[in-house]
Structure 1
Amino acid sequence: MENNSPNQLKKILGVSFGIAILIGGTIGVGILRTPGTIAGMLNDYWLIITCWLLGGIYVLIGIGTYAELATMLPKAGGSYNYVKRAFGNYAGFITGWFDYFSNAIAPAFFCIVISEYIVILIPEWQNRTTVIAIAFLVGFTLLHSTGIKNGSIVQQISSIIKVILFVILIIACFTYTGIKIEPIKKTSGLLEASVIISFFKSLQLVLGTYDGWNAASFFAEEDENPGKNIPKSMYLGAFVVITIYIIINMAFLDVLPISNIANSPLAASDVAKVVFGEKGSLVVTVIAVFSIISILNAYMMMPSRILYGMSRDGFFIQKGTLINDSGTPIVTLLVSSLFAFGLICIGTFEILFSLSTFMAITVWGLTYISLIKLRFSEPNLERPYKSWGYPYTSILMILFSLALFIGFAYSDSKSFLIIGTITLLSYPVFLALRIKSNKE
């Protein structure tokens, strides 16, 4: 039954949205760019395919955790709710803000990237990238202010178009019968001598390309039947993404030798030029635009759900719980859009991306630990779905998250110190918000 309370989200989503939000929130420009970098580091067909396959296995294990937690606690905001339930208000507070920040910068980035690709299609607009980026941000803000139903329709349509375009590119690659390209002769490098290091660097890139796989958990509260729909949609969506990622790498390597793709900043364009001729770059640009539109639509919805969930618990302004007649958390949507607008105007926010990586890893790790904690502390809590391979898969994910965190801390000590400082300063803010919330 649809929930019509003024400050509660509407339960109108289903499996099709869950699949679309995972595909739309995951497949972006990364899969068009990263194959070249990975080919440059690994220089072996089966190592490359294995790397993408392992990334897919990581996603499937992670989905087991998120599916159990999201169906057990079907609330808006994803990880924030699980960590809060397991470790208390402060842990939830810092997790929520970390998760919000790491997701909220994405719309600004995607608007800027869309504007850059549109300028490739229409060179006359070269000096208008900021205006185009802001126009997309405003347009999608207006779209989502009209309700989750319209956002869901756009997500499903854009995700279907995206998949169709990738399938066309894959088929074109495998059916290409033109002149075979001679491999570029390559001398042995230092990276080839340390295959393990190269493999883990490649896996890091692969995981970045898979990022967005847990998107459905943010919308559990708006699902008609989360216990049934969320696991089904997450696994089906993941299998589509994993299949596309593995097969498209096979397709690229079927057209061009590894040495010709290696270190290319846009491997898909190199392949498309061989398959489609001079129009190849145009084909890839069109695919990129549709991919980014779909992923932008997804990331316009996610941050507002996190902030709404936190507002409800007193960790943001009380008006953050306001839902308009169409079922949109309108205040948190506008706040998130204003944040993205500021980032677009600034233009450069590489430092923020470094910080968001640390925050995302922290959120993932705490989420996996939360599953174990809640299994012990609340064994009788209703669990419509249980994570497969527990506790071994959970322990594996915790160790992997810890290894990633240590690796990033070692390679980017400045961001690590900033995150540490933010964490220390967050506690007084948390206390102030709790005092304010208790007075209201």
Structure 2
Amino acid sequence: MSVQPVHKLRKVLGVAFGIAIVVGSTIGVGILRTPGSIAALVPSAPLIMACWVVLGLYILLCAASYAELTAMLPKAGGAYNYIKYAFGNYAGFLNGWLDYICNITAPAYFCIVISEYAVLLWPAMVPFKTLVALGVLTLFTAIHLPGIRGGAATQQFTSGLKVLLFLVLVVGCFASGHARGFAPAARPLLQGGLVLGIIKSLQLIMGTYDGWMSVSFFAEENEDPGRSVPRAYLLGALMLMIIYVLINAAILYVLPVQAIASSPLAAADAAGVAFGKWSAPFMVIISLFSLLSILNAYMMIPARILFGLSRDGFFVQAGTRVNKGGTPWVALAICYVITAVLIIVSSFEQLFTLAAFMMNITTAFTFASLIVLRRREPLLPRPYRAWGYPFSTWLSILVTLALLVAFAVSDTRSLLIVLGMIAASYPLYKFVIIKR
């Protein structure tokens, strides 16, 4: 009887990929879709900009804490590894699956949005929008199946191109001379609902930052995680903040808040004002291709989480199978099936808000893990130490919990869904433990 070869994840990634995965897995659907929703909730340009800056600084603090944990425990699967080490198997199981569910929704809504952009260019495809989304999903699964090198190279190229294209938009808006934004609010800011509007806006912005921790999922495949991981985290988070602030400032520069509030594609409208009517279809094409970068990233992430869960006995052993090119192919195939189902039954808004909610739970646990491990395991090798600790980490925890409470108050539907998941998790965990 022949013995099947055992393949492992390949250590071939570095800083360039780390930055590319942060940028590529984050900038995309959120910045293209949320400016209109945020302007409708917060009818003030300065307040809108303040929300983006505050969340950017918060993410930078978060990145510093995550960098220490990831460099210390460079394992595939991301945050649940640190949570399991700090709080035990059940906490790891719960957060691992919440993180997986959060990330498996991502390729679904990216495929949905890509199909929405495609039908803007080719209206005859409107009846086949779901089939277009499924076709895109199938294509990118085929790209990643052979191995990690092809996917990594695609990520670096598409992320660099995406940043360049958005910078062209920013420069074009400010160079146009159409300074129509930053006008006074159309109604008094203290009129009812502003606080709730800010909270909902922060939830939407948090959703646009979902992906900043993507370096953690690939730490096991990094050639030198002690050096590369912290650099990728901090440089990537800083780049995200700068790009988001610049894009919003550019949109607000050429469009009044009222116009942004009524637009589902504010970036394309801003380009139309800046470059002329001819540019609107062109910007739709740019937006479409920029989304391919974020989809490429999220075709890799859920499979790594499922691989880690399988290796720890929290899913079927077949999930640990890796092909010669370094792809966990069984996990990738399972993710393909789940994503296809989500594309068929779900909508963009439902998936986006639910993912932001679950991300906050796992993020809070991760920060708490850093504090626990600093106290309980002071001698663990730490190639990088979070700056400002413990104040930066405690501040990140407090902000995360405040956002979580605010999201729970403003989005009871997502709260009930997540509470249902948590309630079902312990019986499932006990069942898994018995079967092991």
Q: TM-score, normalised by structure 1?
A: 0.92
In the alignment, is the contact (CA less than 8 A) between 1:272 and 1:283 conserved in 2? no
Q: Which residue in the other structure is 2:132 paired with?
A: 132
Counterpart of 1:370? 369
Q: Which residue of 2 aligns with 1:287?
A: 286
1:379-401 C-alpha deviation (Å, 9 max, x unpaired): 10001111111111111121222
Rate the CA distance shift 1:246–1:353 in 2: closer, same or farther, 3 A: closer
Alignment partners' CA distance in 2, 1:416 and 1:262: 26
Paired position in structure 2 for 1:205:
204
CA–CA separation in structure 2 for the residues paired with 1:284 and 1:207: 25
**1:242 counterpart = 2:244:** no
> Residues 171-250 of structure 1 correspond to what in structure 2 (within 5 A)?
171-177=171-177, 187-189=186-188, 192=191, 196-250=195-249
**What's the C-alpha RMSD, in Å, of the aligned pairs?**
2.3
Q: Which residue is equivalent to 1:398? A: 397
Deviations 1:131-190 (A, max 9, x none): 211111111111111111100011111111111111111111121146x65998964246
- Distance in 2 separating the partners of 1:158 and 1:256: 28
Contact 2:182 2:253 survives alignment (8 Å)? no
How big is the shift at 1:203? 2.8
- Higher deviation after alignment, 102-111 or 236-245: 236-245
* Residue equivalent to 1:91: 91
Q: Which moved more, 1:343-352 or 1:404-413?
A: 343-352
Contact 2:83-2:366 at 8 Å conserved across structures: yes
Q: Distance in 1 between matches of 2:433 and 2:42?
A: 51
Please identify, of 219-228 and 390-399, the stretch whose mean Cα deviation from structure 2 is larger: 390-399
Assess, with a 3 A threshold, how the Cα gap between structure 1 residues 313 and 203 changes in structure 2: closer, same or farther.
same
Which residue of 1 is the match for residue 302 of structure 2? 303
Q: Which moved more, 1:298-307 or 1:337-346?
A: 337-346
Hey, what's the Cα distance between the residues in 2 that align with 1:204 and 1:326?
38
Residue 112 of structure 2: aligned partner = 112
- Conserved in 2, the CA contact under 8 Å of 1:53 and 1:242? yes
SS at match of 2:142: helix
Q: 1:171 to 1:133 in 2, by over 3 A?
A: same
Which letter maps to 1:71?
A
1:343/1:349 contact within 8 Å kept: no
Note the C-alpha offset of 1:191. Answer: 5.1
Who is 1:317 aligned against?
316
Q: What residue number does 2:378 align with? A: 379
Q: Secondary structure at the match of 2:176?
A: coil
Q: Is the partner of 1:175 in helix, strand or coil?
A: helix
d(CA) in 1 for partners of 2:50 and 2:356? 24
Counterpart amino acid of residue 309 in structure 1: G
Distance 1:268 1:417, change over 3 A: closer
**Cα distance 1:34–1:348, how it changes in 2: closer, same or farther (>3 A)?**
closer
Q: Measure how far apart 1:204 and its partner are.
A: 2.8
Q: Is the 1:51–1:203 contact (alpha carbons within 8 Å) kept by the matching residues of 2?
A: yes
Cα distance between partner residues in 2 of 1:44 and 1:192 = 12
The range that moved more, 311-320 or 186-195, is 186-195
Equivalent position SS for 1:389: coil
Name the CA distance, whole Å, in 2 between partners of 1:284 and 1:52.
Answer: 23
Indicate if the aligned counterparts of 2:44 and 2:184 stay in contact, CA closer than 8 A.
no
Tell me the distance in 2 between the aligned counterparts of 1:397 and 1:184.
33
Q: Determine if contact 1:7/1:321 at 8 Å carries over to the other structure.
A: no
Using the alignment, how far apart are the partners of 1:182 and 1:139 within structure 2?
40
Q: CA separation of 1:13/1:77 partners in 2, compared to 1, >3 Å: closer, same or farther? A: same
| Structure 1 equivalent of residue 271 of structure 2 | 272
Distance 1:418 1:227 in 2: 38
| Contact map agreement 2:200 2:410 (CA 8 A) in 1 | no
Amino acid at match of 1:156: Q
Gaps of 5+ in 2: none
Mapped partners of 1:192, 1:231: distance in 2 = 44
CA contact (8 A) 1:218 1:302 kept: yes
The AA in structure 1 aligned to 2:103 is N
- Residue 359 of structure 2 is matched in structure 1 by 360
Aligned to 1:78: 78
Q: Secondary structure at the match of 2:159?
A: helix
Name the % identity.
49
Q: What CA deviation, in whole Å up to 9, does each residue of 1:75-128 have, x standing for no partner?
A: 001111000000111110011000000100111111121111111112232222
* Residues 214, 275 of structure 1: alpha-carbon distance in 2 compared, 3 angstrom cutoff: same
Counterpart of 1:55?
55
> C-alpha distance in 1, partners of 2:249/2:29?
18
Conserved in 2, the CA contact under 8 Å of 1:185 and 1:259? no
Name the amino acid aligned to 2:371: I
- The verdict on how the C-alpha distance between 1:34 and 1:341 changes in structure 2, with shifts beyond 3 A counting, is closer
Relative to 1, partners in 2 of residues 1:39 and 1:313: Cα closer, same or farther, differing over 3 Å?
A: same
Contact persistence 1:17–1:155 (CA under 8 A): yes
Alpha-carbon distance in 1 for matches of 2:422, 2:182: 50
CA 1:175–1:415: 2 relative to 1, 3 Å = closer
Separation (CA, whole Å) in 2 of partners of 1:415 and 1:181: 37
Whether the 8 Å CA contact 1:182–1:257 is kept in 2: the answer is: yes
Aligned partners of 2:339, 2:218: CA distance in 1, in Å? 21
Asked if 2 retains the 8 angstrom alpha-carbon contact of 1:108 and 1:341, the reply is yes
Secondary structure, in 3 states, of the residue corresponding to 1:82? Answer: helix
Paired residues of 2:86 and 2:372 also in contact (CA < 8 A): yes
Report the secondary structure of 1:278's partner residue: coil
In 1, the alpha carbon distance for the partners of 2:54 and 2:304 equals: 30
Contact 1:191-1:198 within 8 A present in 2 as well: no
User: Which whole-Å CA distance do the structure 2 matches of 1:86 and 1:263 have between them?
Assistant: 46
CA, structure 1 residues 247+412, in 2 after alignment: closer, same or farther (shift >3 Å)? closer
Report what 1:344 is aligned to: 343
Letter in 1 for 2:213: N
Mark the CA change 1:293 to 1:228 in structure 2 (over 3 Å): closer, same or farther: same
